[in-house]
Structure 1
């Protein structure tokens, strides 16, 4: 019985060690760029839109600074593709302008010319 407890404890400890190694595994690449986002609705649109992009692990927009931080898998996407995705959502990304058609579809409060 004592041997069984030792084996069970060893098995449990191995499981915890495996989880620990997975949690400390390599984090994805990170890119930051300035957007033309102006409000909370913009934040939701950009974060949700980027979540659907292949290779994106996490996207967070700071509305005050207008900086979006994207953690991604460099094997599946690139900063250029991510900027293009933001442009196709209707927002500027650094020097890359929003796609006109997507910008026109934004709510008035999300347009960079709106008063906030």
Structure 2
């Protein structure tokens, strides 16, 4: 019975830590640019730097990125 409790606690801690690792954050930044080619380069650079998603709006000049918060 003691062994069952130990395994249950280990499983619980593992599950909790996996949830913490899977969390993502989204941030928005002002980035200057003028054209569709700029959009492509800005988004590609953000992804190369570690963003899982990157979207730049040419009208507002806002770059919205999503990344793993760990």
TM-score range relative to shorter protein: 0.5 to 0.7
Aligned CA-pair RMSD: 1.4
The residue aligned with 2:68 is 73
For residue 31 of structure 2, what is the aligned residue in structure 1?
35
The answer as to whether partners of 1:28 and 1:57 remain within 8 angstroms in 2 is: no
How many residues matched?
49
List per-residue Cα deviations over 1:31-66 (Å, max 9, x = no partner): 001111111111000101111113x11000000110
Q: How far apart are the structure 2 equivalents of 1:27 and 1:43?
A: 27
TM-score, normalization: structure 2?
A: 0.63
Runs of 4+ residues over 2 Å off in structure 1: none
More relative contact order, 1 or 2 (CA 8 Å, 6+ apart): 2
- Whichever of the two has the greater Rg, that structure is 1
Relative to the length of structure 1, the TM-score reads: 0.39
Structure 1 regions of 5+ residues with no counterpart? 1-25, 76-116
> Residues 76-105 of structure 1: CA distance to partner in whole angstroms, max 9, x if unpaired?
xxxxxxxxxxxxxxxxxxxxxxxxxxxxxx
Q: How do residues 82-93 of structure 1 correspond to structure 2 at under 5 angstroms?
A: none
Structure 2 residues without counterparts, runs of 5 or longer: 1-21
Aligned partners of 1:47 and 1:60 also within 8 Å: yes
